Chain A
Amino acid sequence: MENGNSHITGYFTFAVVLIILLILTTLTVTVAGFKLGAYSAGAALLIASIKVRTVITYFMHLKSESRFLKVIVIGVFTLYGLIIIVTFVDYLFR
């Protein structure tokens, strides 16, 4: 008998996810090589966010979790984003 959610992710899916993550890592290192100045940190953070999103969706299989869990995960990340914004607004305009 099965317990937990009924969907079992196949080995192949995980292998594809790893390849995508490795490509994104190569991209991060390559982009850091370009002299983008202020944009390089933004580019690095953007790629890192895509990578973490991929890890959460597939490796942590949030994709096949309940709607409740999806909502709280999004909520927690949104709250953290707001904290960053509020901190920087305070730092830049004080």
Chain B
Amino acid sequence: MSSQTTNNLRYEHDTGKLGMWLFLFTELYLFGGLFLVYAVFRAKYSAEFHSAAQELDTFIGTLNTVFLLVSSMTMAMSITAIRKNQTKLAAFLVFVTLLLAALFILNKYFEWSHKFHFKLYPGSEVLKNLGQGQLLFFGLYYMMTGLHAIHVLVGMVLLLINLVRIRSGKVNQQHYLLLENSGLYWHLVDSIWIFLFPLLYLVT
């Protein structure tokens, strides 16, 4: 490969990555706004937030944290693998990441179903009869974890596309920008959860 082509590839890769970082900043402020709302209402209704948070299952929250942390590692490793031209290993690591993401969503499904069973969902009679503070806590809980779960689902679609493209050879040692940017997105999803978990599950 000529050095001109290499330089072009490198330039393309770096600018593409910078674009992804800029997008991640907008995501930071999307969730950052919600964190700010949470912080102010928590300061205002600390006792209510305290009692409402006891409804949340710390074990499920901790388990989901572990799933996302391990998936972040396998994601980061898949980029190392593709850069070392270990294509099969890269595909396997992306697959493991996808599997962990699916486990996270499954867990979330059970968690929400359990709450719905006790009629703790936005707009329910049970929730309306609770105090203002509890209502705000659950509103924020569903909004923040819901928005986060949508991000996990989008991440899973990206991982699936990567898996197909690694297998077909479109994502390879020279062209791995898609994998790298999907990785950056995945780590953002993980980072947001790192903040959501203690704020929602451990405020008791």
Contact = CB atoms under 8 A, between A and B. Distances in A.
A3 B202 contact: no
Interface residues of B, number: 49
Contact of B202 (A32, A76, A84): A32
B18 A69 contact: yes
Nearest to A8: B83
B28 A47 contact: no
Dominant SS among interface residues on chain A: helix
A69 B62 contact: no
B38 to A, nearest CB: 11
Given A4-B180, A80-B32, A10 B80 contact: yes
Interface string B8-27: 01100110011001000100
Contact of B187 (A2, A59, A77): A59
In this complex, the interface size class of chain A, counting residues with CB under 8 Å from chain B, is: 35 or more
B36 A87 contact: yes
B184 interface: yes
Nearest to B188: A60
Interface of A: 1-4, 8-11, 14-15, 17-18, 21-22, 25, 28-29, 32, 40-41, 44-45, 47-48, 51-52, 55-56, 58-61, 66, 69, 72-73, 76-77, 80, 83-84, 87-88, 91
20 contacts: A3-B174, A4-B10, A4-B17, A4-B176, A8-B80, A15-B73, A17-B73, A17-B76, A21-B69, A28-B198, A45-B199, A47-B198, A48-B195, A52-B194, A55-B72, A55-B191, A69-B18, A77-B28, A80-B28, A80-B32
Given A4-B14, A52-B195, 7 more contacts: A1-B6, A4-B180, A25-B69, A45-B195, A69-B21, A76-B28, A87-B40
